[in-house]
A and B are shown apart, each in its own frame.
Chain A
Amino acid sequence: EAQVTQNPRYLITVTGKKLTVTCSQNMNHEYMSWYRQDPGLGLRQIYYSMNVEVTDKGDVPEGYKVSRKEKRNFPLILESPSPNQTSLYFCASSFRDTEDEQYFGPGTRLTVT
């Protein structure tokens, strides 16, 4: 089944403890991106990747890192999480770019205490 998977789905952690949220797609998509969803703000783009080893900042990149070593994987790294990063995170992928249909993962709910 063609899909985007994220792990973990739920995570509670403490301030400063490094964490990684994984994202994987099996559709051979070139474009992948990360969003955070906060009440009243909709989805805001954190980082995106146009292809392997090519990434760039979205609108809210502070406090996050990404890497794209393989086409199918696009992990989101929080090196020193803070409470203001408590949010619902979505990974998405598409064939080439944002003009194409985006396929979303199920979301990861992160709580930083």
Chain B
Amino acid sequence: AQRVTQPEKLLSVFKGAPVELKCNYSYSGSPELFWYVQYSRQRLQLLLRHISRESIKGFTADLNKGETSFHLKKPFAQEEDSAMYYCALSGAGGDSSYKLIFGSGTRLLVRP
């Protein structure tokens, strides 16, 4: 079954500390992985996707097919990073690229 698991509902860190939001997936084909973020009073928006392999707002995520993981990392958390983060999975190509599966989300709280 296709599934995205985010084991932590809440992650609380101090400003300047490293952050790692965990995401594991179960998918039989070739997945496309994304991180979406929802800041307070803002819309859900794309943070980054694995195929772009870029760093956005200091965040990076590496797709580990062996461990079926796509953890989101940032070396030094900032207070403005406080938000709800969702890991999402899409199939690649054909009919599998019309369904998007989200994890349950992790709330990141960065304390001063």
A residues adjacent to B (C-beta < 8 A):
31, 33, 35, 40-45, 48, 50, 56, 58-59, 90, 92, 97-99, 101-102, 104-107
Q: How far is the CB of A85 from chain B (nearest CB, A)?
A: 19
A43 and B86 contacting across the interface, CB-CB below 8 Å: yes
Is B70 an interface position by the 8 A CB rule?
Answer: no
> Size range of the interface on B?
20 to 34
A44 and B99 contacting across the interface, CB-CB below 8 Å: no
A111 to B6, CA, bound (A): 27
The contact string, 1 if C-beta is below 8 Å from chain A, for chain B 63-90, is: 0000000000000000000000010001
The contact string, 1 if C-beta is below 8 Å from chain A, for chain B 33-49, is: 00010000001111001
A99 and B46 contacting across the interface, CB-CB below 8 Å: no
The contact string, 1 if C-beta is below 8 Å from chain A, for chain B 83-108, is: 00010001110000111111111000
A106 to B45, CA, bound (A): 11
B103 and A56 contacting across the interface, CB-CB below 8 Å: no
A43 to B84, CA, bound (A): 12
